[in-house]
Amino acid sequence: MTAAVAGGCLCGGVRFTLEGDLRGVVVCHCSLCRRWGTYAGAYTRVARAGLRLVAAETLTLYVDANGRERSFCRACGTSLFWAVPGEDGVSVSAGALDGGDHLRLARHIHVAGAAAWEPPPTGGPRHPRGSDSPPVSSE
């Protein structure tokens, strides 16, 4: 996908646009993403240069236990972005996009770490650990 896409937080304190190619949505079931959003995290990805902040008055950065930079709105708590320092891409919460209907599921990762109360993920490849682990199944 190459058209500009807008997004933001619940209260409007953070607004952004994404320009350039967006990756399909990766759903992460690890414990950090679960704590970050109360359920599995669903993220697309864009090159850092493609992320344009339009409003950032309430944008806050937190560095997690794995050294990832997680950005959120300090006013309403919306999870927005995460990135690994030094990498070119930024993962963007798919739920923070205006619409986002053009994006498709790419894969589920860290399904071995999913909570017992989560329904088993369906659709797309399911990786027990990260994307580099062999998928267990496509359906």
Phi-psi region of 14 (alpha: psi -120 to 50; beta: other; left: phi over 0): beta
- Please state, for a pLDDT cut of 90, what percent of the chain lies above it: 61
State the Cα–Cα distance between residues 50 and 44, nearest whole angstrom: 12
With a cut of 70, say whether residue 3 has pLDDT above it: no
pLDDT, the chain, mean: 89
Amino acid at 77: G
State the Cα–Cα distance between residues 130 and 75, nearest whole angstrom: 31
With a cut of 60, say whether residue 1 has pLDDT above it: no
Residue 1 contacts residue 9 (beta carbons within 8 Å) = no
Predicted structure pTM score: 0.86
pLDDT tens across 4-36, in order?
899 999 999 999 999 999 999 999 998 888 888
Residue 37, pLDDT score: 80
Report which of residues 88 and 135 the model is more confident about.
88
pLDDT tens across 83-116, in order?
999 999 999 999 999 987 889 999 998 888 888 8
- Across 84-121, b (16+ Cβ under 10 Å) vs e yields eeeeeebbbbbebbeebeebebbbbbbbebbeeeeeeb
Domains of the chain: 5-113 (2.170.150.70)
